[in-house]
Structure 1
Amino acid sequence: MDLKSIILRALRSRKYTGMAQYEIEILYNFSRSHISEVLSSMESENIIIRTGDGRLIKRVWLRDYYPGHIDKFIRIGILRSSEYIPLISGIYSMFNDYNIKIIPFDDTVSLMDALKYEALEFAMAPSLSQIMYAMTSDNIKIIGAVASGGSSIIKNSNDNKRLLSSALSSMMIMSREFARGKNLEIEFFKNPLRAVKEFKNSGYISIWEPYSTFLINNGYKKVSSYEDYLDSMPCCMVASNPDFIARNPGVLRIKNGDYNNDILKMFYKITGIGIKNIKESLKNYDFKTDISMETVYGIIEKTGILMDKNKIKNVFYLNK
Structure 2
Amino acid sequence: MSDRLPPLTALRAFEAAARHLSFAKAADELGVTPAALSFQIKSLEEHLGQQVFHRHNRAVTLTEAGRALSPGVTNGFNELQSAWVTAKRLGDNTTLTVTAGPALTAKWLAPRLYEFARAHPEIDLRFSATLRTMDLERDEVDVAIRFGYGQDDGLYSVPVREEWLTPVMTPALAEEYSTPESLIKAPLIHDDSLDFLRPRCDWPAWFRAVGIAHRPEHGTHFSNADHAIDAAVAGMGVALGRRAMIIGDLLEGRLVAPFKTAIQTAARFRFLCLKGAETRPQIAAFRDWFLAETAKTAHISDAFEIIPVESLPPE
Q: TM-score range by the shorter chain?
A: 0.3 to 0.5
Structure of higher CA gyration radius: 2
Normalising by structure 2, we get a TM-score of 0.46
